[in-house]
Amino acid sequence: MTTHLIGQLLEVKPSEYTNKKTDKVSYSTDLTVMFDGIDEEGFRKVSVETVNTDEEYYEELKGSIGKFIALAYHSSIDQWGQKFYADRSMAVLTLDKNPLDYSKFKRTKQEYKK
């Protein structure tokens, strides 16, 4: 299943991995993306995800830090946790403004329960 990770691009980091069995070095790019919204009760909900992508994403996105992106990706779960992999067959959308601006929605009033 393909889904989209939408949020503000915080970091574009080149990385390398050496396979210990073959000593082969693989290069990739880690993208750190922050989603900032509000929950049903009006409290702020922030989540940050790091997605490991192909090394070509570094050149493509290093100038987009601070902008909002929509990245098509697949997710998988293994023994080390949940991993996200970019779907290279779909383009990364770079946007100047947040397409999911939750500040437009009315927040519910918070009351202390006695």
> Per-residue pLDDT for 107 more than 70?
no
> Per-residue pLDDT for 94 more than 60?
yes
> Per-residue pLDDT for 88 more than 60?
yes
Nearest CA-CA partner of 26 in 34, 15, 37, 35: 15
**In which band, very low, low, confident or very high, does the pLDDT at 110 lie, cut at 50, 70 and 90?**
low
- Spatial distance between the Cα atoms of 1 and 77, rounded to a whole number of angstroms: 13
Phi and psi at 64, nearest 5°, equal: -105, 10
> Per-residue pLDDT for 37 more than 60?
yes
What is the pLDDT, as a whole number, of residue 109?
A: 58
Nearest CA-CA partner of 7 in 36, 28, 50, 38: 36
> Per-residue pLDDT for 64 more than 80?
yes
Mean pLDDT of all residues in 54-63: 91
Question: How high does pLDDT run on average in the chain?
Answer: 85
- Spatial distance between the Cα atoms of 56 and 76, rounded to a whole number of angstroms: 22
Secondary-structure percent of the chain, ordered helix, strand, coil, rounded to 5: 10, 55, 35
Task: Look up residue 78 and give its two tokens.
Answer: 């293994």
Nearest CA-CA partner of 35 in 61, 64, 71, 60: 71
**Choice between 85 and 3, residue whose per-residue pLDDT is larger:** 3
> Per-residue pLDDT for 84 more than 80?
no
- The vertex-94 CA angle with 91 and 99, nearest 5°, equals 110
**In which band, very low, low, confident or very high, does the pLDDT at 114 lie, cut at 50, 70 and 90?**
low
